[in-house]
Structure 1
């Protein structure tokens, strides 16, 4: 600011901690899931946790493109990432989806995000009132918060993330992440 001596102001030194990469994979039941998992591993490194596969019956949004009887599974990855890589990660998952696309469109939908101790953030190619723009046509939203020992949903939280199976998975992954952070903090 002109005319002010800022030499006495402290210089902030924020420490951005790495985050835990997760992905929700929606797929047609005839898709060979191990092939999708291989692509995920090639892009993001080893998988360290996965949920059981479950029926995706929460919305008809994907019906015209992907058909009915869809399945879903959540994954987390061993390697921690910087939160500022989320747009790149979303573009990588779009490329994975394209590799499995058929004549009628996608057969696999990969929704990446990351987990911090206090929240779950998901990436999207669609803007909405609760999303913030990252870059390269990618937005992000805080899908859930972690408060008082549990994940808390918002009005916009997708129903498949609100179900007990997903919340149990996220709690388990959060514990893995906390152990990784303890190691990260010890070496910093």
Structure 2
């Protein structure tokens, strides 16, 4: 018989895709007001791995990755995804998004994105939200899967997430000492 235990809390991150003139400052204030202080903000990265968002959001899109100070329970991702979908609507113009917000979390064993689209590798979590197993951590590195989005499979991004994972584990250790 297995013993049921709560897993460790996880590090909330968000991938933001946006036009250079988007209201990023206002967005980050709203995110911090609801969630917690942003403790990491990446440099701008050209979002050029896909044209998926161009019809809705235009060309020349940028990406930033952010993480938040407060660790979350894994189940919190459902409420967070619901909140970020509402924020996307707030920042929409003429029914088109100007900012795409993809919340996810870093756990010791993997990286999960939340999505509203079901698929064979995306278990349903509730309230229309699915978990996308995006990267697994094995042999001291993040590894892609056959369905990993190209930008998340990029080596530079995986190295960045490895660094964020180290910070997360340090944070877990510090919180367990309290």
Structure 1 unaligned runs (5+)?
1-8
Q: Is the 8 A contact 1:51 1:166 kept in 2?
A: no
**Structure 1: which 4+ aligned runs deviate by more than 6 Å?**
none
Count matched residues: 178
In structure 2, what is the Cα distance between the partners aligned to 1:79 and 1:96?
20
Tell me how far 1:104 sits from its aligned partner. 4.3
Residue 159 of structure 1: how far off its partner (Å): 1.0
Please give the alpha-carbon distance, in whole angstroms, between the structure 1 residues aligned to 2:89 and 2:77. 18
1:111–1:123: 8 Å Cα contact kept in structure 2? yes
Q: For 1:39, which of 23, 30, 44 is the aligned residue?
A: 30
Q: Which residue of 1 aligns with 2:98?
A: 107
Q: CA RMSD in A?
A: 1.4
Give how far 1:89 is off: 0.6
Q: What is the SS of the residue equivalent to 1:80?
A: coil
The structural deviation recorded for 1:111 is 0.2
Q: Unpaired runs of 5+ in structure 2?
A: none
Task: With the length of structure 1 as denominator, give the TM-score of the two structures.
Answer: 0.90
Distance in 2 of aligned mates of 1:113 and 1:134: 13
Q: Deviations over 1:150-182 (max 9, x none)?
A: 100101111111123321221121111111111
